[in-house]
Amino acid sequence: MRPPAFRGARARQRGVTAIEYALIASLIAVAVIGGVQTLGSEVSNTFGTVSTAVSGATNN
């Protein structure tokens, strides 16, 4: 039989592990969101440049 101090140790360890995984997942989500926003801005700028070039070429 386990001593009383160790009875809930495994359950507490599982809870701590779940919290750690949740923190890791949230950090990954923040990194992905930041990357998508940066990439979106760059793609938008590229389309703007292409649109301007095409518009200038068709007006001549």
Instruction: Kindly give the confidence (pLDDT) of every residue in the chain, 60 residues in length, as a single tens digit, with 9 standing for 90 and above.
Output: 555 566 666 667 777 888 999 999 999 999 999 999 999 989 999 999 999 999 888 876
Q: Rounded to two decimals, what is the model's pTM?
A: 0.57
Q: Which residues of 1-23 are buried (b: 16+ CB within 10 A; e: fewer)?
A: eeeeeeeeeeeeeeeeeeeeeee
Check residue 2 and give its pLDDT.
56
Check residue 5 and give its pLDDT.
60
Check residue 34 and give its pLDDT.
94
Beta strands in 1-60 (DSSP E): none
User: Tokens 């440049």 correspond to what residue?
Assistant: 49
- Longest alpha-carbon distance in the chain: 90
Check residue 10 and give its pLDDT.
64
Check residue 15 and give its pLDDT.
74
